[in-house]
Structure 1
Amino acid sequence: MGPRRLLAFAGFRRLLLSRFASQWGDGLFQTGLAGFVVFNPERAVTPEEIAGGFMVLLLPYSLVGPFAGALLDRWDRRRVLVAANLLRGVLILVAAGCVAGGASGLPLLMLALVVVGISRFVGAGLSAALPHVVPVPNLVEANALAVTLGAVVSVLGAGCAVGLRGLLGEGDTGSGLTTGIAFVGSVLAAVLAARFARGALGPDKVDEPPTALAAVAQGLFDGGRVALRTPSVAAGFCALLAHRAAFGISLLLTVLLMRFSFEDFGPIEAGLPGLGVVLGFGAAGIFVAGLTTARLVSRLGRKRSVLLCLAGAALAQLAFGLPMVLPTALVAAFVLSYAGQVVKLCVDAAVQRDIGDEARGRVFALYDMLFNITQVVAIGLAAELVPQTGESAALIAAAAVVYLVGMAGFATVTRRHQRA
């Protein structure tokens, strides 16, 4: 079944458009904040501050994810998506006001933590709802289309933020106005989710303790237990954990190099515009992965596809990362994003196919928690070791080694299952 036939399902189209609106707003909001914190010419920045910024973007859902997962398997997901998107929209406007006023301390940090945490909650809800709008045999293709195009739309939102900063100014007021426009994405996502009938997105049944508090307390344990008992999911977690750690290191180095070391390359400027181009190359890799993953898995099988992508990412780190110049960084962004997206799509499909609906929300929530914490820890450790210029061949080599460790973990878990 091709994309045209998938789009014939009205529920899938509506869920896809809600995802697009949500992720466009996410990309715009996060890049607007990054411009204010990292690329504001009025501010100096250190690797530790950049790592703190990534913590704001990645850590919130890691802290609440297991509990949110239990709620996604208990509450009407349609109602959750509507309420969460509207709440996020209000908080985006408050955060934008703080940015416009030049508030870069604890109030802005806490608002950003909550906004991004809600975004992660919405993303888990969208993923858990997908099997309710497409037939089970088409989940791999539908997930590839939704996740891939959603990631591309997120990058488009980031590109809109870069363009808006150019129009509205790079100071506090311009950053605040840019960040506030992300409100539109949240409202559109809520309106689109509200068009579903009550209960249409699941859960089909509630396999939970009688009280919400008990369900929340059980979320982490249940999600971990189900994931560990499902070999395809456990092996995929090993591969994706490695990618997130290695990608986190590369992400920190790229931001530092773009701010302090890279020189303009033809029409491509260093700084925030150059980071936008890097994101564009990453989006291209994600898009190509969405087009080719189903065919790759069909030809090579899931195991070989994952191993091939991890090996390719390790080689890309060394071949295109070590020169530490803007042109090769663009190639590295494409290859690493492609490889990581193929692995992610394989893991997503395993969760959606092999985990029952009564536990799927908790596993997706645990999934986000583990991978975001892994990326935050990797960025934090790298920030302690990297010079302010971002020029560190040792960290690039370390990222390549992490990919090889992920290959070993994936192969080991898969082999043990085959022997059992």
Structure 2
Amino acid sequence: MLARLTSQLGDGMFQVGLASLFFFSATTSPAGVTAGQVAAAFAVMLLPFTLVGPWAGVFLDRWRRRQVLLVGNVVRLGLAVALTAVMASAGVNLAVYVLALTALSVNRLLLSAFSASLPHVVPRSHLLTANALVPTLGSIAAGLGGAVGLVTRFALPEGAAQDAGALACAAVAFGLAALAATWFVPDALGPDVFRSRDELRSELARTGRDLVAGARYLVARRTPAEGLTVVLVTRFAYGTVFIAWLLACRNLLTDSSDVDGGAARFGAVLAATGVGFALAVVLTPTLSRRTGPQRWIVGCLGLGTVAQVLVAVHLSLVTIVVAALLLGLAAQGAKIAVDTIVQRDTDDAFRGRAFALYDVLYNAGFVGAAALAAAALPDDGDAPVVMWALAALYAAGALVLGRWGTREPVEVPTPA
């Protein structure tokens, strides 16, 4: 818990630092940002790891996951320090994009490692509660980190220091997360079968076949594959509306030159999303135990439909904030259930690959959303036709999963 919360606290600070740099910096975008610029920024940050991510799972099934958490946070600490130094001295250049891309890629690997490690520290009978508590508190920690980043931004003078302040705070959080990881013994978080460095080298050539085998296993089990499909669809829908809201806060609800006003309004949207996450941690364990995780996901998709209809009918700061709360509850509630399904129904020999593929689909959904945003969203983010289409997507997902979704996994042989 401590390792994850400090790590995700740093995530929030880091992400606000990047948002300040790319979207709410008077020096880089004084006249506002376009839908294409926002979409390109997200695509550049997420597409490479979407392509590389599946390979990470093979290593999570072979490397000590405790070492991944330790080394990964140390690497992020160094990258955050380097980004802070570059921003303070040279401003935005190619090095900033490369460092940011690398740090975000490491973050996705760490979140996979946290998810794959959870069954090693929580009894199987308590996984649902743990998945409601730990990832959701992690998301809340990220929200608090974002709030700290925003306060840091407003407290610092305009310019490079304002853009780099949150990144410097993130470096401290990453260092604390690395320290927390050292309190585990090296083998505490799995994998159950450890392979030596020499064995790992000899198996690199088998990576592609291992990934294919992992994907086939998940499809054969049915329930994990259905859960991952839900992640892809909901991430695509949420990513599209997220970009629309960012554009609206930056260009529609405030004057395009008022970057601090736009950042404050978007901060309110993120805060409402965090409240939705908090509600998910309270409601999901109780309600999903009665309905089962699949039916709970159906309910979350229905809630997403309502949220999308709200902003499709009328776009204002009030409707965006309310919809953000509802979508936060829906997205996090569905994620808790999917996490539980994948952990519960996936053998440990495939679990690392399962969560790496999970993260790839998570990112791929947002990359697809970025492509849609670039093509279909106006620069002010007000696109009722797109919002109605996303409402229909949520509704269709609820109908398909509720009518044809698998309730119990199919028995599949696993390696000895």
Could you tell me the TM-score, scaled by structure 2's length? 0.91
User: Which of these residues, 192, 202, 224, is aligned with residue 215 of structure 2?
Assistant: 224
The structural deviation recorded for 1:296 is 1.0
Partner in structure 2 of residue 24 of structure 1? 9
User: Which of these residues, 168, 187, 200, is aligned with residue 199 of structure 1?
Assistant: 187
Paired residues, number: 401
Does the CA contact (< 8 Å) of 1:206 and 1:358 recur in 2? no
State the distance in 2 between where 1:416 and 1:87 align. Answer: 41
- What code does the residue aligned with 1:229 have? A
Partner in structure 2 of residue 46 of structure 1? 34
User: For structure 2, which runs of at least 5 residues remain unmatched after alignment?
Assistant: 412-416
**Secondary structure of 2:405's aligned partner:** helix
Whether 2:288 is the aligned partner of 1:300: answer: no
The structural deviation recorded for 1:355 is 0.6
The structural deviation recorded for 1:206 is 4.6
Question: Equivalences for 1:281-300 in 2 at 5 Å?
Answer: 281-300=272-291
Whether 2:170 is the aligned partner of 1:182: answer: yes
Q: Describe the shift of the 1:354–1:418 C-alpha distance in structure 2 as closer, same or farther (beyond 3 A).
A: closer
State the distance in 1 between where 2:87 and 2:241 align. Answer: 27
1:353-398 C-alpha deviation (Å, 9 max, x unpaired): 1111111011000011012111111122222221111111111112
User: Which of these residues, 362, 372, 380, is aligned with residue 381 of structure 1?
Assistant: 372
User: Which of these residues, 349, 354, 370, is aligned with residue 340 of structure 2?
Assistant: 349
Percent sequence identity over matched residues?
Answer: 36
Q: Describe the shift of the 1:286–1:115 C-alpha distance in structure 2 as closer, same or farther (beyond 3 A).
A: same
Does the CA contact (< 8 Å) of 1:72 and 1:362 recur in 2? yes
Does the CA contact (< 8 Å) of 1:238 and 1:409 recur in 2? no
Partner in structure 2 of residue 117 of structure 1? 105
- What code does the residue aligned with 1:174 have? Q
The structural deviation recorded for 1:103 is 3.5
State the distance in 2 between where 1:99 and 1:409 align. Answer: 48
State the distance in 1 between where 2:206 and 2:148 align. Answer: 40
The structural deviation recorded for 1:236 is 1.5
Structure 1 stretches of 4+ moved >6 Å? 207-210, 416-420
The structural deviation recorded for 1:193 is 0.6
Partner in structure 2 of residue 243 of structure 1? 234
User: Which of these residues, 103, 120, 126, is aligned with residue 132 of structure 1?
Assistant: 120
**Secondary structure of 1:182's aligned partner:** helix
**Secondary structure of 2:125's aligned partner:** helix
State the distance in 1 between where 2:230 and 2:135 align. Answer: 18
Does the CA contact (< 8 Å) of 2:73 and 2:174 recur in 1? yes
1:137-193 C-alpha deviation (Å, 9 max, x unpaired): 111101210000000000111111110011113322221232122111111111111
The structural deviation recorded for 1:330 is 0.4
User: Which of these residues, 143, 149, 158, is aligned with residue 170 of structure 1?
Assistant: 158
State the distance in 2 between where 1:230 and 1:97 align. Answer: 48
The structural deviation recorded for 1:263 is 4.9
**Secondary structure of 1:74's aligned partner:** coil
Partner in structure 1 of residue 414 of structure 2? none
State the distance in 2 between where 1:60 and 1:170 align. Answer: 32
Q: Describe the shift of the 1:322–1:97 C-alpha distance in structure 2 as closer, same or farther (beyond 3 A).
A: farther
Does the CA contact (< 8 Å) of 2:113 and 2:352 recur in 1? yes
The structural deviation recorded for 1:98 is 2.1
The structural deviation recorded for 1:406 is 2.1
More deviation in 51-60 or 131-140? Answer: 51-60
